[in-house]
Structure 1
Amino acid sequence: MHRLPLFFKWSLLLLIVAGLSCNKLLDAGSPSNKVITSQVYASDSLAQAALIGIYFKFMENFGPNNGWTTRFPSLTADDLNRTSVLDQDTPFLTNTLASDNTTVLQIWNTTYAYIYQCNDLITGLTGNHSITPALRDQLQGEAYFLRAFNYFYLVNLYGDVPLVLTTDYTKSATTPRTPVDDVYDQMINDLNKAQDLLTNTYATTPDFPSARVRVNRQAVKALLARIYLYREQWAEAAAASTEVISSGIYQLESDLQQTFKYNSREAILQFMPVSNAYNTAEGSFFIPVLSTIRPAFVVSDTLLKYMEAGDLRQAWIRTATVSGKQYKSPYKYKQNTATTPRDEYNMVLRLAEQYCIRAEARARLDQLPDAVSDLNTIRKRAGLSDLPTISTQNQVLAAVEQECRTEFFAEWGHRWFDLKRWPARANDGRKRIDEVMSALRPDTWNSTDALWPIPAFERTRNRTLSQNPGYD
């Protein structure tokens, strides 16, 4: 984390100097090329450019918030396989990560760079009277959300992580790991502040009047619902998800092919593409440039085995025959290159998850009929009949796992994170992840693989960082 100030100056000033010219929604203007960091929070246009710059950096290249949190956790779990060997993917696919893994390091460093930018925005906007009050609240609320969002993925990948809330790199460079529960407390604190600062209205422009690519209050509630679920605060999770579902802003798309489009009515938050090479990283990863080319990634046999006959979500799986062999790969996104206009955005939060969150929370609260009703809502959209009569909590929770797996395969690491937090079905004190992965990869799986290693390079720079069990 010693290099964060350099990254910040590079990314923030470059974006402000150049202007975010990819489209007008991600363009807060083209200020003078003599802007310095101390001036960023002196005007509305520069402050807005700083915030928009974070979204831009998310999508500029492949990274934690653009494809990698789908790709690598899906390989680590039982969502995806590869059709050929690639050195970058093999350690994830075989659960043999090492502390010197460069991808693990890059995800760590890039995510902390995003957090640094959020910290700078929060600090620069706090008590700032140079910015129009309504805009200041909007930008600060978004920054609080984005900081919590990035910490959510850090703790679910690495466990205890340094909780850095300052731009003082001399302090952050020696910050030890903070217990997961304390980081979650900070996330909830950030999100509570964000919801007080934000409204249900999305920031848009006349060119993009219906875009949902900037955080609003309901996006905050949606992430809160997930965090409450992960913390086993069942009543709070159910209440937060109910608020999102009942807001009237979102609808499940009856046509599954519309779910991941730029104008999806299901979208609570999307990230807008900025690359000239592709719309979404997932589309680029999963769809070959030519139909005659074997896909690099295929969905797992276990996923295919447990998908019900007639499930319309099979439309999210592409079937291709190459050299006489059939391959089935993820197909939630249909484009593998950039389109004009952009017709697919990176789906970050969507309504279906809120139904699944509420179903699980209600099941944990022994509100079984209501939980089943939520699952049936998802099933109906998928063209499936209602679940048969379910009389026990364990049966409902098994149905929750089935729907979550089928709904969210190859999407933002959902399967990996769910397996890590669910208890084993055998009720033997293990987690579900040990039950599933020890059967899938008996030769390489260890329970300590549930967390990624703390990067060795970071530990040489910050001697206070301890290592996760199972790694050097």
Structure 2
Amino acid sequence: MKRLLIYLTAIMLGLSSCEGYLDKLPLNTPSDQTFLATETEMQMALAGCYSALWLNHESMTFFLALDEASDIGYDRNTNALQSLGQGSADATNGIALSYWTGFYSGIAKCNYLLQNMNRGEANVDPATFAQIKAEARFLRALFYSYLIELYGDVPLITQVQSLADSNQPRTSKSQVADFIIKELTEAAAVLPATNNPTSGRASKGAALAIKARTALYNERWTDAISASSEVMAMEGSLYKLEDNYATLFRNEGQNSKEVIFSVQYLVGTNVHALYRLFGSRNALAHTNKKPAYQLADSWECTDGLPIDKSPLFNPKDPYKNRDPRLGYTLAVPGSVFLGYQFETHGDSLKCWNYLTNTRVNNLEATHAYATFTGLCWRKYANVEDRLAINDCEMNTILIRYAEVLLTYAEAKIKAGQIDASVLEAINKVRNRPSVKMPPVTTTDPTQLFYAVCKERKYELSGEGLRLFDIRRWKIAEVVMNQPLLGRMKKSYPDRAPRIDAYGNAFYENIPVANQGESADFKMRVVDKRTFNPARDYVWPIPYIERQTNPSLTQNPNYE
């Protein structure tokens, strides 16, 4: 773009003495008339497209935040995300606005690149040109995939917009899903069949994996099966399950062959604050984002039975004999977390600091803002970040190979194509060396579907997918229409809760403290929630967007 300096110089010199001067282009910055004429400029524009992945909530990667608006998590801060979880959001909700504008900003950058990159096509190697184009199409499709799952029908915009044509109406979710699947199919045909998770660049496998996810969410079973099958065909050469599940969420796991696509962070460029948001009070973090107590009761015992059916479950020692992924996902009482003994019992006034091998005051029992649920998120909370709790640079995984396997299994079940490959896909996830849970053996379609639903909860909790699962399975109206609970302060419940077919816990026969009542020996109500099935399966279209674009309609029953 022409700089003000040019105009000022022209005025000083006089227009007559510099005829044609204003038509010249800046010498040291790109011009909007020629930008994208070189490979360097195209790569710069593409980097701008990727930067939209840094959309965040309170320095928390955008997709991870979504779990706190679902049945498995809670945002302690009084904010727009908390109101979405409570079912009290309206069209002025700040998260609904920031995600809408964030994704459309990313889409606009992609559209600009795609529409104008032909300016420099002759100056760029054809293979490089094609790859840049495919990456931009991948990112645009990815942003649309989140938009349709959060808001339903959204405007499908594929060109740079002028003011005259900016008032675009909403396009049906089905049509946008068709567009996403087509874009990802064509991008996958061009993108390299490589796996370098710390590059942050789109690959063939990433395009196919997001295509499979989008197809699954939109009941395109054939597309979901074919796309996930293509990724599965790369197992061994490019992708494989990580032997140690916990490694995936530590610094040493960022290059794991299980990671298909992740959002990149680097101190000095962009960082997140997951240590502060997830970590314990003892470890000098704030525990702003908390897992629900109900989540801890979801994982099976090591015999493959739910805790209300297994003889291995001991209510007085509830985390013993459980699926190892419980302890990999959550910090539970009795474990070591961020270098400290993690204990939330109200009388546990001292605990061990294993970093210094000393006994210290136990803030988990005494601090007013220690975890209200008796649990912390363990994924992405790493002791290496303890000295820079707001400047964490570990990448966050947007999609990984385990999800692809479960997508394949669910799509095959829904398509009525149950065969040995379905059980193999599920049991690969359950049988990784650090998990070793009993295999699923049923071939009954209903029971096998429930097995996949539970497996997604066991495997993927804390990774930003739960909100979409409870919506598409139409169980949000059940799991979100109950209070989010915390453990009794000085004891555990004396019996197991009821566990339903989806692996969800319900506490009808376990005492729960009323508002203002002591929770020492009763379950604590952490958050009161309601869910209106006639409204809350989608977020509201932001108020300001409808004011500036009268062509936008509102989702049902939002003001």
- 1:253 matched to 2:246? The reply is no
> Hey, what's the Cα distance between the residues in 2 that align with 1:171 and 1:402?
49
Q: Deviations over 1:127-147 (max 9, x none)?
A: 732322111111100000000
Match of 1:34 in 2: 29
Q: Structure 2: where are the runs of 5+ without partners?
A: 4-25, 302-321, 333-341, 344-362, 485-527
Quickly say closer, same or farther: Cα 1:460–1:111, change in 2 above 3 A: same
Secondary structure of residue in 1 paired with 2:33: helix
Alpha carbons 2:193, 2:205 under 8 Å: kept: yes
Match of 1:373 in 2: 424
Residue in structure 1 matching 2:223, options 236, 261, 281: 236
Quickly say closer, same or farther: Cα 1:443–1:392, change in 2 above 3 A: same
Residue in structure 1 matching 2:97, options 105, 114, 121: 105
> Hey, what's the Cα distance between the residues in 2 that align with 1:459 and 1:343?
37
TM-score, with length taken from structure 1: 0.82
Alpha carbons 1:200, 1:218 under 8 Å: kept: yes
> Hey, what's the Cα distance between the residues in 2 that align with 1:91 and 1:37?
42
- 1:46 matched to 2:29? The reply is no
> Hey, what's the Cα distance between the residues in 1 that align with 2:444 and 2:280?
44
Alpha carbons 1:74, 1:410 under 8 Å: kept: yes
What is the correspondence of 1:24-423 to structure 2 with a 5 Å cutoff? Answer: 33-59=28-54, 62=56, 67-71=61-65, 73-82=66-75, 84-126=76-118, 128-170=121-163, 173-201=166-194, 211-247=198-234, 248-260=237-249, 261-276=253-268, 279-280=271-272, 282-287=274-279, 291-293=283-285, 295-309=287-301, 310-313=322-325, 314-319=327-332, 320-321=342-343, 322-324=363-365, 327-335=374-382, 336=385, 344-364=394-414, 365-381=416-432, 383-412=435-464, 414-422=465-473
The number of residue pairs the alignment matches comes to 425
Q: Deviations over 1:317-375 (max 9, x none)?
A: 12434342773122211345769x98721211110101110110122224154322211
Q: Aligned AA for 1:318?
A: A
Quickly say closer, same or farther: Cα 1:192–1:53, change in 2 above 3 A: same
Give the aligned CA root-mean-square deviation in angstroms.
2.9
Alpha carbons 1:173, 1:461 under 8 Å: kept: no
TM-score, with length taken from structure 2: 0.70
Which stretch shifts more, 300-309 or 124-133?
124-133
Q: Aligned AA for 2:219?
A: E
Query: CA shift at 1:75, angstroms?
Result: 2.4
Q: Aligned AA for 2:439?
A: L
Match of 2:494 in 1: none
Quickly say closer, same or farther: Cα 1:276–1:253, change in 2 above 3 A: same
Query: CA shift at 1:99, angstroms?
Result: 0.4
Quickly say closer, same or farther: Cα 1:280–1:64, change in 2 above 3 A: closer
Q: Deviations over 1:353-410 (max 9, x none)?
A: 0111011012222415432221111111252333353141110111111110121112
Residue in structure 2 matching 1:436, options 457, 465, 479: 479
Alpha carbons 1:76, 1:416 under 8 Å: kept: yes
Alpha carbons 1:122, 1:143 under 8 Å: kept: yes
Question: Structure 1: which 4+ aligned runs deviate by more than 6 Å?
Answer: none
Residue in structure 1 matching 2:546, options 453, 459, 464: 459
Alpha carbons 2:277, 2:286 under 8 Å: kept: no
Query: CA shift at 1:279, angstroms?
Result: 4.6
Query: CA shift at 1:297, angstroms?
Result: 1.9
Secondary structure of residue in 2 paired with 1:298: strand
Alpha carbons 1:67, 1:281 under 8 Å: kept: no
Quickly say closer, same or farther: Cα 1:342–1:282, change in 2 above 3 A: closer
Query: CA shift at 1:96, angstroms?
Result: 1.0
Q: Deviations over 1:165-215 (max 9, x none)?
A: 11123255200011001111111221122122222136x7xxxxx734100
Q: Aligned AA for 1:395?
A: Q
Q: Aligned AA for 2:365?
A: G
Q: Aligned AA for 1:92?
A: L
Q: Structure 1: where are the runs of 5+ without partners?
A: 10-30, 205-209, 423-430
Quickly say closer, same or farther: Cα 1:238–1:57, change in 2 above 3 A: closer
Quickly say closer, same or farther: Cα 1:92–1:117, change in 2 above 3 A: same
Quickly say closer, same or farther: Cα 1:289–1:274, change in 2 above 3 A: farther
% identical equivalent positions = 27
Alpha carbons 2:169, 2:551 under 8 Å: kept: yes
> Hey, what's the Cα distance between the residues in 2 that align with 1:35 and 1:63?
32
Secondary structure of residue in 2 paired with 1:344: coil
Query: CA shift at 1:54, angstroms?
Result: 2.3
Alpha carbons 2:71, 2:292 under 8 Å: kept: yes
Secondary structure of residue in 2 paired with 1:53: helix
> Hey, what's the Cα distance between the residues in 1 that align with 2:412 and 2:258?
22
> Hey, what's the Cα distance between the residues in 2 that align with 1:396 and 1:80?
26
> Hey, what's the Cα distance between the residues in 2 that align with 1:262 and 1:38?
40
